[in-house]
Amino acid sequence: MPLQHLALLTSGGDAPGMNAAIRAVVRTAFYHGITVTGIMDGYEGLVKNDFIELGPRDVRNIVQRGGTMLRSARSEVFRTKEGRATAAKNLRDAGINALICIGGGGTQSGAHQLANEQGVKLIGVASTIDNDLGGSDRTIGFDTACNTALEAMDRLRDTASSYGRIFFVEVMGRDTGFIAMHTSIAAGAEYVMVPERRENVDELVRVLENRAKEKGSSIVVVAEGDQEGGAFKLAEAVKARCPQFDIRVSILGHLQRGGNPTMADRLLAARMGAAAVEGLIAGKEHCVVGIVKGEIAFTPHAEAIAQKKAIEPDLFRLLHMLAV
Ligand code: F6P
């Protein structure tokens, strides 16, 4: 049956650029004569039948906005088989032939289950500030989150260098250190701590001591999921070894999830959103849309979820080489 009516949701952690992706989906569908239903609050709204009609004018003036006009949620009921059966029934009852799920790892795992178990025809769009989903070299929101964190680090450097202080700056990244790694290089930080690598605190102290001899400021970027337990714990461990250090901690937190998407994220969102619709028209399903080596790619859900995307190892070397 040709695609006539599709539904669209955003789920999990919101990411700047989700709105640009929604706009791309709605307008590409309109271009191809396909009706679009928006689902509020992610999978929660899918189970509760919270649907709205979306035409091309309903998505005006959102391309530049952070957050998601369809809202997001982490749904408990959708984790149950009954919840997913209700979700699939609601789609059928509304005459919807396919679903587009915009989100990160959790969202795509949910989509995978819905497709496998309930036979829903769907496509995922890779979107998370953490950049930790397979199937796309960069996920929607990552670039904006990095730029937001970077701006904060530049400001912290101003005050840190006025006092010769050490700042431990914690960025998001529960399981992966993409934001930490990329921003640490861009901010000219002295050290980075990421969940993927166990670092030696003594080595960190050695670097900071050398730096202190020159009376310079230092910035240590810490991913929230780092193996020492985050920026506060790490700062305490360093202070216990070097009581003379003047240390401050700054947790950037959810600041990184908001704000106007950068050009890179808007472009990514536009390309992926349009590709999701045109992929469905071409008969693709049960896969995640991303951009791999500059080209649109459709990766089977199981593969995209299982892929462990690694931080480029040369970046660690680069950071330590430049942070003299
Ligand atoms: O969006 C991803 C992420 O930002 C993680 O890095 C972070 O741990 C988590 O979401 C926090 O999200 P929430 O407060 O919505 O549970």
pLDDT tens-digit readout, 263-281 = 999 999 999 999 999 999 9
Task: Please work out whether the CB of residue 131 comes within 6 Å of at least one atom of ligand 1.
Answer: no
Catalytic residue of the set 14, 130, 132, 265: 130
Amino acid 211: pLDDT: 86
Are 80 and 35 found together in one domain? yes
What is the band of 188 on the pLDDT scale with cuts at 50, 70, 90? very high
Rounded to whole angstroms, the Cα distance separating 140 from 185 reads: 21
Amino acid 215: pLDDT: 73
Which residue's CA is minimally distant from atom 16 of ligand 1? 13
Are 208 and 251 found together in one domain? yes
111-160 pLDDT per residue, tens: 999 999 999 999 999 999 999 999 999 999 999 999 999 999 999 999 99
CATH code (residue 46): 3.40.50.450
Are 209 and 133 found together in one domain? no
Task: Please work out whether the CB of residue 174 comes within 6 Å of at least one atom of ligand 1.
Answer: yes
- Does residue 319 sit within a domain? no
How would DSSP label each residue in 14-26?
--TTHHHHHHHHH
Q: Is the pLDDT of residue 311 over 90?
A: yes
Q: Is the pLDDT of residue 1 over 80?
A: no
- Does residue 169 sit within a domain? yes
What is the band of 250 on the pLDDT scale with cuts at 50, 70, 90? very high
- Does residue 314 sit within a domain? no
Q: Where in the sequence is the domain holding 198, given as residue range(s)?
A: 143-258
Are 84 and 74 found together in one domain? yes
Is 137 an annotated catalytic residue?
no
Q: Is the pLDDT of residue 200 over 80?
A: yes
Task: Please work out whether the CB of residue 190 comes within 6 Å of at least one atom of ligand 1.
Answer: no
Are 18 and 135 found together in one domain? yes
Are 73 and 21 found together in one domain? yes
56-113 pLDDT per residue, tens: 999 999 999 999 999 999 899 999 999 999 999 999 999 999 999 999 999 999 999 9
- Does residue 321 sit within a domain? no
Boundary residue ending a domain (220, 243, 258): 258
From the CA atom positions of the chain, what is the Rg in Å? 22
- Does residue 322 sit within a domain? no
- Does residue 318 sit within a domain? no
Task: Please work out whether the CB of residue 42 comes within 6 Å of at least one atom of ligand 1.
Answer: no
Task: Please work out whether the CB of residue 13 comes within 6 Å of at least one atom of ligand 1.
Answer: yes
Boundary residue ending a domain (223, 258, 293): 258
Which residue's CA is minimally distant from atom 8 of ligand 1? 174
**Can you tell me the mean pLDDT for 176-196?**
97
Q: How many residues does the chain have?
A: 324
- Does residue 311 sit within a domain? no
Are 95 and 242 found together in one domain? no
Number of the ligand 1 atom closest to the C-alpha atom of 225: 8
Are 9 and 150 found together in one domain? no
- Does residue 12 sit within a domain? yes
Q: Report whether 16 contacts 172 (CB < 8 A).
A: no
Are 20 and 124 found together in one domain? yes
Number of neighbouring beta carbons within 10 Å of residue 249: 18
Query: Which residue, 145, 64, 132, 146, is CA-closest to 103?
Result: 132
Are 136 and 13 found together in one domain? yes
Are 36 and 136 found together in one domain? yes
Are 121 and 11 found together in one domain? yes
Rounded to whole angstroms, the Cα distance separating 163 from 37 reads: 55
**Domain total for the chain?**
2
What is the band of 212 on the pLDDT scale with cuts at 50, 70, 90? confident
Provide the angle, in degrees to the nearest 10, between the axes of the packed helices 201-213 and 231-241: 70
